[in-house]
Every structure is written in C-alpha cells, then in structure tokens.
Structure 1
Amino acid sequence: MPSITSHHLFVRVVWLLVFVIIGVFWTTVFYYAYNFPYYDDFQSIVLFLTHYIQSDSFSEKLMLFFEQNFEHRVVLAKLLTLAVFLITGQVNIKILIILGDLSLLGTLFLMFRFLMDKQISLLGFFAIVCLLFQVQHYEDTISWATCSLQHAPCLFFSMWSFYLALHRRSVIWSSLLAVLALFTSANGLSTIFIVMIITAYSNIPKLHKMTQAAFLLFITAVHLLTIKIHSGSILDHVFNHVAVKSVLLLSFVGQLADTNYTNSMIPSVVLGLAFLSPMIIVLKKLLGNTLSDITNLQWFCIAGILTLLFVGFLIVFARGEMPDFDGYRMDRYKIYSAFFGVFSVAFFDRYWNPGKLGSLLKIAVAAAAGIFCISSYYIYYDKITHFNREISANELNYGLSKTIYYPVVFEDVDIVRNLDFAQQHFMLSDPGRLNKLVSNIDWKKSEGNIAVEIKNLQDRIVISNAHNIEIDQQADELYIVMTDPVSNQPKYFCIAVNNYVRSVRNFYTTFKKSVGAEFTSTIYKRKLKPGNYNLFLLSIHAGKTASISSIGRIAL
C-alpha cells in the first residue's frame, strides 16, 4: 500500500511541475514580448497589411500572401495578421507572438496523445515539456514575431501531418497540413516529401496515393519555380567543404549545448551524435530486416528528425560556399535544437522501460531536462531583456525622430511613410512601458554628473563609465539619451549594456539578475542626424523609477 500511495504522490508532483513549467513560460512571454515590430516584422506584418489595405484589386490582395520574405513565403503569418486585424480592428505584435506560441501547446497535445496511448511514459512526457517550454529559443517565442509565426508553427503543422499519415487518418488533412507547413516557412519543404513517402508505404487505396502525390507535387513545383533564391547557387554551396559543414551540422543538431556559452563545439557535436542515433538504429534494423520492431511513435520521431535535418542542411550547407561558424548557432534557430531533443527523448523512451536501470535512466533524463529548463531562464535572461529594451527603444526613437535604430543593419527608405500609415490605421495601441516612464521626465534637470569615457570614432561612438567610477547598482536598465540642446527634448535612445554579477540565488527569488557597476554603449552614427547633442544616462530601477544624469556633449 505505501508503494502505491507514494507512486500516486509522485505522479501528482510530476503533473504539478508540468503545469508550473508551462505557466512560468507563458508568464515570461506575456511580460517580455513587446508590441512593436522588429526587423523583418516590418516586411511580413506591417508592409503586408499596409499594401493589403491600400490595394483595391482582389488579385493584388491575393498575391500579397505569396510574396517572398527572403527565401520564404510566410502565408500563415500574413493570414494571422489579417485575421487579427479583421477581428480586432488593429494589429498587436504581442498578440501575434502569442498566437505563434500556441503551436507549442498544439505540439504538446500531440505528445499527450502518445502518452494516453501508452507509447510514451510520464517521465518522458515531462522531459518533453521541459524542452518545449524553456527560453533558450526566446527569439522564436518571445522577442520576434516573424520567428514566432514561422518556426514553431511550421514544425507543428509538419508533426500533425506526420501523425495523421502514420495513423492512416485522412489523406486530405495530412496533405493540407503539409502544404501549410510549406507556406509557413521554406523549412517545411521536406514535409511534403516525407508525407508522400509515409503514404506510399501505407495500405490506403492506390488512387488516393496518386492523387495526393499529384496534388503535393504540383503545389511544390509552382512554389519552387516562382521563388527567387537570394543566397546564390545552392549546388555550389552544397558541394564545397562538405567535411567541415558536416561537423557544423552535428553541432547544429546538438545546440542545446549552446556553443555561444560552452565556447567549444565538442559538447554540441557529441549531443548531436546522440540525437541522430535513432536514425542509426532504424538503419541497422532495416539491414537486419527487423523494422517491425519500430513503433508508430518511433517512426514519427524519425520523420521529425528528418525534417529538422533538412532545416540544418539549409542553414549549414545551402546558404554559402564557405563554412559559417557563427550563422548556424544564432538564437533564432534554437527552437530546432529543442525539437531534436524532443524527438530523441520520445524515440528512446520505450528502451528505458525494463528494470531498475531503465527507471533510473528515465529519472536522470527527466531531471536533466528539468535542470536545463530552469537554468535557461538564468542563462538567457541577459538576451531576453536586451531584446525587450532594443524594441522599446525603437518605439521611442520612431516617435521622436522617425528612426528605427535596432538592428543597426536594418534599412528601409520607405519606413517613415509605411509605419506612419500603420500607426494611423491598424497599429493603434497604448504606449509601451518605457514610453510611459520617460514621458514625465524633465530633461532640463539632471540629478548630477557622471564621468564617462567617450570615444568618438569614425563610424560610431563608444561610451563607458570612467575608470573607478561606479553607477548606482540599483539601476537594472540603462539608456544613453541624446537630447537637443535648444528644445531640451530627447532625440535618440540607445541601450547602455550593463554587466551582471553572479547572482543565482537572487535571480530565482526575484527573477532578476543583480546589476554590476560597469556599462558601455555603442552608438552607430549611420542612423543619427548631424548636430549637437547633450548626453544623459537614463537609469531605471524595477521598471518604475527613473533618474537622469548628465554625461557630456557630442557634435556630429
């Protein structure tokens, strides 16, 4: 009886942790996602809806959905943008991010079905929850609407398409979901062919197989023949430096061990080999003619791994002739790392059932996933808050100087005309937190001077606190504010990057890192208008109180 009672208690604790992890993740999304477009959000969201509203022709409106966004056709993102506008009368970037994140819940529901069918254990399911609802993939789920509406939704449609095809469900629905994946992101191209292969080996009528193949191949052919590849000759890229790129691909697979933090490719390559080992097992069973041992869940995982490998192939092999040691590990791709882990855990779960050793291994995997999930909030806090501040500074800069400053490489000669139209017609929202906070500041008065070092270089200005001069350690947000000396009104807001001290205990009690005493700010001149400016350091504590200190003047 005690063992039964303890088992029931254990199950309840695991389910409680599942809901806590999901709840904390969504709370983070609600707090840090920001209602202002960032980078290619302008093209896929703002410009799309602007042109849609301004167009009088039905055919032009329809074609807008299929215009390219780089090598992608982001039809889903545009459909959701239009749907939100038609329902609410406005477009809220934060709402679009949340809509994209719903695909994570849809994916989890699919894994829950495998749990109910007893094809995956509760601990395996818990590990999957931890991998899906962590913040390593913050660019895909918190900070960037374009990524939120592409990457996870594309995988969501792909997985459900595979699920229906493997379970001999509706050929029509599995085909339509595959097409949705294709038009959610170019990364969904592989879904088309994987679904066709699954259907080809099923026992459904031959006519249904041929109809599906004709339909999917026709859609795919039209898509590929009418799309422009901006990155050059893919064939030239693929067959150069194959060995090095193969290592980078393994590192891409294992980016749960983020090379940006480990400073070594070895952990990610080892983890990549582990995550790809299910394919080796299936190949071995194929050669041994024992494929009947592979369950539907395991075939599902193999299909998922294959579509993720296609994404890795596009990023590592197809983008350039030379190996790119930095591009493949950008944070916008971390969602794929999470899914490699999900499919690997689900594939191996049945092998961990027998005996005490299997149970201990399941507990170890679940514990490792849980620790990783919890740790991700601490590790990526800097980047999440940095993105939030970049976008909030963009909102201020545009309101003051019609400038979109971040990222510095972003250029759009028509941004003023297009964003003005958007704000008048559909981006009708309350000012953001930072906007409200600084609106009450009297810029004629400062709370003293702070000595700083200002390096006025040819293309940029670098500002840092002077040697041995410390700032108020209570400030957890810093901005360099450039004001007009005549009107005393701010013209530009630029982020001052403050360092964080080691503060694990403080972080997990306050959900904030302790701020150090140093800061630096790099201000690129290319987006600033010539003139004389007064410089202030804006310090914000706990998102509520603000103070300004004079730090000097510059002339551009």
Structure 2
Amino acid sequence: MPSITSHHLFVKLVWLLVFVIIAAFWTTVYYYAYNFPYYDDFQSIVLFLTNYIQSDSLSDKLMLFFEQNFEHRIVLAKLLTLAVFLVTGQVNIKILIILGDLSLLGTLFLIFKFFLNKQISLLGFFAIVCLLFQVQHYEDTISWATCSLQHAPCLFFSMWSFYLALHRKNVFWSSLLATLALFTSANGLSTIFIVIAITACSSIPKLHKMTQATFLLFVTALHLLTIKIHSGSMLDHIVNHVAVKSVLLLSFVGQLADTNYTSSMVPSVVLGFIFLFPLTIVLTKFFTKTLSDVTTMQWFSITGILTLLFVGFLIVFARGKMPDFDGYRMDRYKIYSAFFGIFSVAFYDSYWTLSKAGSLLKMGVAAAALIFCISSYYVYYDKITHYNREISANELNYDWSKTIYYPVVFEDVSIENNLDFAQQHFLLSDQGRLREIVRNIDWEKSKASIDATIADLPDRFVISNAKTNQASPQADELYIVATDAVDNQPKYFCLAFNNYVRSVKGFYTTFRKSVGTEFTSTFYKRKLKPGNYNLFLLSVHGEKTVSLNSIGKITL
C-alpha cells in the first residue's frame, strides 16, 4: 500500500510540474513579447497590411498573400495578421506572437493523444513538455513575430498532417495541412513528400492516393516554379565541402547543447548523433524485415526527424558554397533543436520500459530535461531582455526621430511613410514601459556627471564608462540617451551593453539580473541626423528610473 500511495503522489507531482512549466513559459511570453514590429515584421506584417488596405483590386489583395519573404511564402502569417485586424480593428504584435505560440500547445496535444493510447510513458511526456516549453527558442516564440508565425506553426501543420496520414484519417485534411505547412514556411516543403509517401504505403484506395499526390505535387510545382531563390546555385552549394557541412549538420541537430555557450562543437555533435540514431534503427529494421516492431508513435517521431533534418539541410548545405560555422547556430533556429530532442525522446521511450536500467534512464532523461528547462531561463535571460529592450527602444527612437535603430543593418527608405500610415490606421501601440519611464524626465536636471570615454570613429561613436566609475549597483537596465543640445529634447535611445552580475539564487528569487559595473554603447552615424547632442546614462531598476547622469557630448 505505501508503494501505491507514493506512486500516486509521484504522478500528481509530475502533472503539477507539467502545468507549472507551461504556465511559467506563457507568463514569460506575455511579459517579454513586445507590441512593436522588428526587422522582417515590417515587411511581413506592417507593409503587407498597409498595401492590403490601400489596394482597391481584389486580385492585388490576393496576390499580396503569396509575395515572397526571402525564400518563403508566409501565407499563414499574413492571414493571421489580416484576421486580427478584421476582428479587432488593429494589429497587436504581441497578440500575433501568442497566436503563433498556440501551435506549441497544438503539437503537445498530439503527443498527449499518444500518451492516452499508452504509446508514450508519463515521464517521456514530461520530458517532452520540458523541452517544448523552455526559452532557448526565445527568438521563435517570444521576441520576433515573424519567427513566431513561421517555425513552430509550420511544424504544427506538418505533424498534424503526418498524424492523420499515419492513422489513415481523412486524406483531404492531411493534404490541406501539408499545403498549409508549405505556405507557412519554405521549411514545410518536405512535408508534401513525406505525406505522399505515408499515404502510398497505406491501404486506402488507389484513387485517393493518386488524387492526393497529383494535387500536392501540382501545388508544390507551382510554388517552386514561381519563387525566386536568392541564395544562388543550390546544387553548387550542396556538392561543396560535404564532410565539413555534415559535421555542422550534426551540430545543428544537437543544438540543445548550444555551441554559443559550450565553446565546443563536440557536445552538440554527440547529441546530434543520438538524435539521428532512430533513423539508423528504422533502416536496420527495414533490412531485417522487422518494421512491424516500429510503433505508430515511433513512425510519427521519424517523420518529425526527417522534416527537421530537411530544415537543417537547407540551413547548413543549401545557403552557401563555404561552410558557415556561425549561421547554423543562430538562435532563430533553436525551435528545431527542441523538436529534435522531443522526437528522439518519443522514439526511444518505448525502449526505456524494457528493463530496470531503462526505467532509470527514463528517470535520468526526465530529470535532465527538467534541469535544462529551468536553467534556460537563467542562461537566456540576457538575450530575452536584450531583444525586449532593443525593440522597445525602436519605439522611442521612432517617436523621437523617425528612426528604426535596431537591428543596425536594417535599412528601409520608405519605412517612415509606411509606419506612419500603420500607426494611424492599425498598429496601435500600448503605453510601453520605457515610454512611461522617460515621459516625465527633466533632461536638464540630471545628477552629477560621470566620466566616460567617447571614441569618435569614422562610422560610429563608442561610449564606455571609465574604469574608476560604476553604474548604479541597483540597476537592472542601462541606456544611453542623446538629447538635442538646442532644445534638450531626447532624440536617440541606445542600449548600453553590459555584463549581468552572476547570481543564480538572486535570479530565481527575483527573476531579474542586475547589471555589472561597466558598460559600452555604440551610436552608428548613419542612423543619426547632423547636430549637437548631449549624452546621458539612464539607469533603470524595475519600473522606475534610478538615476540620470551626464556623460558628455557628440557632434555629427
């Protein structure tokens, strides 16, 4: 009886942790997602809806949905943007991010259906929750609407399409979902061929198979023949440096061991090999004629791994002739790292129940996934808050000087007219936190000045504090503000980059990190209008200004 009681308590604890993990993730999304466009968002959201509203032709409106966004056609993102506008009369970037993230819950529901059918254990399901609802993939789910509406939703449509096909459900819905995946992101191209292959191996009538294949191949051919590939000769890229790119592909697969932090590719390559080994197992079973041993859950995982592998192939092999040791590890691809882990856990789960050692391994994997999930909040806090502050700084810069400052590489000569129209008609902004903080600041009554070094370089000003000076030890955020020397009005709002003070205990009790004592900030001259500017260091703690210090002047 005690063992039964303890088992029930353990099950209740696991389910409690499941709900806590999901709730913590969604709270983070709600708090850090910001209602202002960033980078691709200007084209895929602001410019799209601007052109849609201004167009009088029904055919032109329809064609806007199928315009390219790099090598993608992001029809879903545009449909959701239009739907939000038609329902609410405005577009809220944060709402779009949240809508995109609902696909994570939809994918989890699929895994839950396998759990109900006893094809995956509770601990396996728990490990999947930990890998899915963590913040390593913050660019895809918190900071960037374009990513939020592409990557996870594309996987969502793909996996539901595979699920229906594997269970011999309605061919029409399976085909429709595959088409949605294709027009959510170019990464959904593989979904078309995988679904056709699954249906071809099923026992449904041949007429249905042929109809599905004809329809999907026709849509895919039409899509590919009318899209422009910007990255050059793909064949030339694929056949060069195959060995090195193969290692990078393994590293891409295993990016749960983020090479940006491990300072070595070895952990990610090893993890990549483990995550791809299910393909070897299935191939072995194929040659030994034991494929009947593969469960539906495992086939589902294989289809997921193949889809993700296609994405990795595009990123590592197809983008350039030379191996790119930095491009594949960008944080905007971390959602695929999470799903490689998820499908691997789902595949291996049935093997872990075969022995006592397997059960211990299952416990170890679940514990490791939980630790990873919890740790991701600390490890990626710096980047999450940086994006939040960068985008909110854009809002202030545009209010003050009609400038989109971040990212620095972003250039669009028409953005002023387009964004003005958007703000007047549909892009209604919330009262941002930073806007509230700076609203009542008297820029003429700053505290005593502090020493700072201002390096005047050909294309930029680099401002850094003197080694003997310290920023406020209570500050959570530091910014450099440039005010017009004539009227003392703020013109440019720039992040002050700094190292956070390391304090694990402090972080998990306050969910904040305080900044270190040194900072540096860069003003790029091409982003500034000619004039004389006074510079101030703005230190912020929580929701209030801590201090405002004068740090010098610049002239452009």
- Could you tell me the TM-score, scaled by structure 1's length? 0.99
The runs of 4+ residues in structure 1 deviating greater than 3 Å are: none
Give the partner amino acid of 2:533: Y
Alignment partner, residue 295 of structure 1: 295
Alignment partner, residue 220 of structure 2: 220
> Matches of 1:514 and 1:254 in 2, distance apart?
31
> Matches of 1:448 and 1:107 in 2, distance apart?
55
Alignment partner, residue 542 of structure 1: 542
Q: 1:67 aligned to 2:52?
A: no
Helix, strand or coil: the match of 2:393? helix
User: Residues 187-206 of structure 1 correspond to what in structure 2 (within 5 A)?
Assistant: 187-206=187-206
- CA offsets per residue over residues 181-230 of structure 1, 9 Å max, x none? 00000000000000000000000000000000000001000000000000
Helix, strand or coil: the match of 2:256? coil
Helix, strand or coil: the match of 2:244? helix
User: Residues 226-245 of structure 1 correspond to what in structure 2 (within 5 A)?
Assistant: 226-245=226-245
Instruction: Report if aligned partners of 2:140, 2:147 keep a CA contact under 8 Å in 1.
Output: yes
Helix, strand or coil: the match of 1:175? helix
Alpha-carbon shift at residue 500 of structure 1 (Å)? 1.1
User: Residues 76-155 of structure 1 correspond to what in structure 2 (within 5 A)?
Assistant: 76-155=76-155
> Matches of 1:152 and 1:430 in 2, distance apart?
26
Alpha-carbon shift at residue 546 of structure 1 (Å)? 4.0
Helix, strand or coil: the match of 1:517? coil
Alignment partner, residue 509 of structure 1: 509
Alignment partner, residue 448 of structure 1: 448
> Matches of 2:494 and 2:203 in 1, distance apart?
61
> Matches of 2:514 and 2:403 in 1, distance apart?
32
Give the partner amino acid of 1:333: Y
> Matches of 2:319 and 2:117 in 1, distance apart?
41
Alignment partner, residue 277 of structure 1: 277
> Matches of 1:178 and 1:244 in 2, distance apart?
32
More moved, 174-183 vs 525-534: 525-534
Alignment partner, residue 403 of structure 2: 403
Alpha-carbon shift at residue 530 of structure 1 (Å)? 1.5
More moved, 511-520 vs 236-245: 511-520
Distance verdict in 2 for CA 1:544–1:262, change over 3 Å? same
Alpha-carbon shift at residue 65 of structure 1 (Å)? 0.2
- CA offsets per residue over residues 428-471 of structure 1, 9 Å max, x none? 13221101110111111101111111111111111111022111
Alignment partner, residue 436 of structure 1: 436
User: Residues 15-54 of structure 1 correspond to what in structure 2 (within 5 A)?
Assistant: 15-54=15-54
Give the partner amino acid of 1:260: N
Helix, strand or coil: the match of 1:500? coil
Alignment partner, residue 174 of structure 2: 174
More moved, 501-510 vs 339-348: 501-510
Instruction: Report if aligned partners of 1:506, 1:514 keep a CA contact under 8 Å in 2.
Output: no
> Matches of 2:514 and 2:408 in 1, distance apart?
28
> Matches of 1:110 and 1:540 in 2, distance apart?
43
Helix, strand or coil: the match of 2:518? strand
Instruction: Report if aligned partners of 2:68, 2:74 keep a CA contact under 8 Å in 1.
Output: yes
Give the partner amino acid of 2:119: Q
Q: Which runs of 5+ in 2 are unaligned?
A: none
> Matches of 1:298 and 1:115 in 2, distance apart?
13
- CA offsets per residue over residues 348-404 of structure 1, 9 Å max, x none? 000000232111111000000000000000000000000001000000000000000
Give the partner amino acid of 1:437: I
Q: 1:375 aligned to 2:375?
A: yes
Q: 1:427 aligned to 2:427?
A: yes
> Matches of 1:471 and 1:403 in 2, distance apart?
27
> Matches of 1:83 and 1:501 in 2, distance apart?
43
Helix, strand or coil: the match of 1:135? coil
User: Residues 523-534 of structure 1 correspond to what in structure 2 (within 5 A)?
Assistant: 523-534=523-534
> Matches of 2:64 and 2:495 in 1, distance apart?
35
Give the partner amino acid of 2:442: D
Instruction: Report if aligned partners of 1:153, 1:184 keep a CA contact under 8 Å in 2.
Output: yes
Backbone CA RMSD of aligned residues: 0.7
Instruction: Report if aligned partners of 2:471, 2:539 keep a CA contact under 8 Å in 1.
Output: no
Alignment partner, residue 491 of structure 1: 491
Helix, strand or coil: the match of 2:517? strand
- CA offsets per residue over residues 268-291 of structure 1, 9 Å max, x none? 000000000000000111111111
> Matches of 2:547 and 2:142 in 1, distance apart?
28
Give the partner amino acid of 2:245: K
> Matches of 1:231 and 1:431 in 2, distance apart?
40
Give the partner amino acid of 1:379: V
More moved, 538-547 vs 326-335: 538-547
Give the partner amino acid of 1:514: S
Helix, strand or coil: the match of 1:518? coil
- CA offsets per residue over residues 476-508 of structure 1, 9 Å max, x none? 111110000111000000000121122000001
Q: 1:307 aligned to 2:307?
A: yes
> Matches of 2:209 and 2:355 in 1, distance apart?
43
Helix, strand or coil: the match of 2:204? coil
Give the partner amino acid of 2:289: N
Identity over the aligned pairs, expressed in percent?
Answer: 81
Give the partner amino acid of 1:282: V
> Matches of 2:390 and 2:514 in 1, distance apart?
20
> Matches of 1:329 and 1:187 in 2, distance apart?
17
Instruction: Report if aligned partners of 2:353, 2:359 keep a CA contact under 8 Å in 1.
Output: yes
> Matches of 2:279 and 2:544 in 1, distance apart?
52
